[in-house]
Chains A and B, each alone.
Chain A
Amino acid sequence: MSERVEVAKTYKLFIGGAFPRSESGRTHPVRDRRDRLVAHVAWASRKDLRDAVRAARAAQAAWAGRTAYNRAQIVYRIAEVLEGRRDQFEAELRVGGMTSRAARANLDAAIDGSVYWAGFADKLEQLAGGVNPVAGPFLNVSQTIPLGVCGLACPDDGGVSGMLGLVCPALAAGNAVVAVAGGRSALVSSTLGEVLATSDVPAGVANVLTGDHAALLGWLVDHADVDMVDLTGAPADSRADLEARTAENLTRWAATGGAEHLGTIMEFRDVRTVWHPARIL
């Protein structure tokens, strides 16, 4: 019998619950530390970005309409699925240039972070909303609501935790996301789509594009149907320009870095306040 030929994976995008190749047909070669070719990763075009935003918009309302408890379960499930695929991710992170120790630390942070953000989903209201003291005969209530579609510029050297550190809080907050990552994170980002697809995240709620920040982020911040962008992973030389362009269509921007505190997830949430006459009874 002839020797078995290994079946290599095609690293594709994750849009609307499916794994398409880039519409442009472009791929990007990923090489390991010894400069050996490891894989070709699909390289997203602006058309892919537009498709992803459309998928996210279509899915967002139903996702926000789920109970916070259910969203927490699903974000927690991301951690569970990730835990089961540690070896694969560790290998891919090492291809991206990380040492074994750094790769394991990155995965620990990603998995523990997912659990951390899952816990926030049903606690935002208590932490950031509530009844406000006002000087008048009014009941003044603040409620937090999701922003809608969030575009996430994930750091190219952030590995798994770099992407999930932005995706998980945005999802827990009830948004649909379009996450962009490239560079050394391209391999794991592409594989993360498979994790999201098998974690009960509804189709379209999380979309992952592997590609070049410089080519994609301009289209992302200019897109009028994107409600917020997290520019954590934006290239330093284009950051000021991107920030300025968000003003054109009143898109919010932040650069949370995925830091684990209430402030991060509140960047993905809006606060609405209503005044109500106090004596209605």
Chain B
Amino acid sequence: MGTLTRSGDELAGGALAGTLRVGGVDAVALEARAARLAGRSIKRESKDAGLELAVRCIDLTTLEGADTPGKVRAMCMRALRPDPEDASVPPVAAVCVYPSMVTHAAAHLDGTGVRVASVAGAFPSGQADLDQRLEEIRGAVADGADEIDIVINRGALLSGRLDIVHDEVAAAKRACGDAHLKTILETGELGSYDAIRLASMVAMAAGSDVIKTSTGKLPVAATPPTALCMAEAIRDYHRHTGRVVGLKLAGGIRTSKQALGYLAIVAETLGVHWLHPERLRFGASTLLNDVVLQMRFRRTGRYPRPGDLPVD
């Protein structure tokens, strides 16, 4: 498999059968459309369904230097039973941890249907030798990770070296084996929607199963226009190649209202088939409690006390 090359607006090579037109992004229209979709009012029944779906799509995440096996265990318990008072609240999609915590998470989640996701590849900067990054991926998979989150080489992308970006992601995909690869674009560092769209296309062409907005380690993370831009890239890539790529929105998504707005953006752009944990994820930690509180409110008609839920 050759590397990816770009001439003008078109990408070619890699796993692409023909050429892939990238095109530019109308930033003003994108932001206006994202704001309109995210701000749309949602009817009560749809909101209930949306909250339930949001829980099922969450990658419950802890990526702190202070993580311990105990904390990961507590988080796994929350992942399996988000609302201690209500068993009808479904488990989340996955638990996302650092590679050193994968064995601990896997021990609690094995056989439950909740996946173990691990960041790898010198997260969050990606600034390490490729060999080292690939070794970290292989280690996490061997420890039991079902999904691997890596960052792209932003430096290479911004200096126009799409081939480097592509080859590194493709190598990561091979290192993953059967595990799903989620590729983080770190949109906050890319500077423009054009760059986000280009990065999305390169990451998808290199074989990513999911493209993801951010590491959550930057102040600028997932925003509605970014989500829309990436969703449109996924839609266009799907039309062109027929391959289904998922979307993961991460960083700064803390409230149910935000999550419902993103669901509207995805539904309107990619269709209802993408409203499924196999194709859509929210990388979050505080979001889960907010959704659970909203569901409690919908069930009881009383505003709940945030302090009643466990925090991580």
Contact = CB atoms under 8 A, between A and B. Distances in A.
Contacts of A50: 303
A57 interface: yes
Interface of B: 301-308
A181 to B, nearest CB: 20
A225 B306 CA distance: 7
Interface of A: 50, 53, 57, 219, 222-225, 248-249
Contact of A222 (B303, B306, B307, B308): B303
Contacts of A53: 303
Interface of B is mostly: loop
A223 B308 CA distance: 13
A53 B306 CA distance: 11
Q: Specify which of B302, B303, B307, B308 lies most central, judged by the most chain A CB atoms within 10 Å of its CB.
A: B303
Contact of B308 (A57, A224, A248): A224
Contacts of B302: 222-224, 248-249
A224 to B, nearest CB: 4
A57 B303 CA distance: 13
Nearest to A245: B302
B301 A225 contact: no
Contacts of B301: 222
Nearest to B301: A222
12 contacts: A50-B303, A53-B303, A222-B301, A223-B302, A224-B302, A224-B303, A224-B304, A224-B305, A225-B304, A225-B305, A248-B302, A249-B305
Contacts of B305: 224-225, 249
Contacts of A223: 302-303
Contacts, number: 22
Contacts of A224: 302-305, 308
Contacts of B308: 224
A105 B122 CA distance: 70
Contacts of A57: 306
Given A57-B306, A219-B303, 15 more contacts: A50-B303, A53-B303, A222-B302, A222-B303, A223-B303, A224-B303, A224-B304, A224-B305, A224-B308, A225-B303, A225-B304, A225-B305, A225-B307, A248-B302, A249-B302
B305 to A, nearest CB: 4
Nearest to A149: B305
Contacts of B304: 224-225
Contacts of B306: 57, 225
Nearest to B296: A224
A206 B173 CA distance: 54
Nearest to A148: B307
Contacts of A248: 302
Nearest to A227: B305
Nearest to A248: B302
Contacts of B303: 50, 53, 219, 222-225
A219 B302 CA distance: 7
A134 B304 CA distance: 39
A223 B293 CA distance: 12
A57 B308 CA distance: 13
Nearest to B302: A222
Nearest to A46: B303
Nearest to B304: A224
A53 B305 CA distance: 10
B200 to A, nearest CB: 36
A50 to B, nearest CB: 6
7 shortest A-B CB distances, which residue pairs?
Answer: A224-B305, A225-B305, A223-B303, A222-B302, A224-B304, A50-B303, A224-B302
A51 to B, nearest CB: 11
A162 to B, nearest CB: 26
A225 B305 CA distance: 4
A166 B90 CA distance: 44
Contacts of B307: 225
Contacts of A222: 301-303
Nearest to B306: A225
Contacts of A225: 303-307
B298 to A, nearest CB: 14
A66 to B, nearest CB: 21
A249 B308 CA distance: 12
Nearest to A54: B306
A148 B305 CA distance: 12
A129 B181 CA distance: 61
A57 B306 CA distance: 10
Contacts of A249: 302, 305
A222 B304 CA distance: 9
B188 to A, nearest CB: 26
Q: Specify which of A53, A224, A225 lies most central, judged by the most chain B CB atoms within 10 Å of its CB.
A: A224
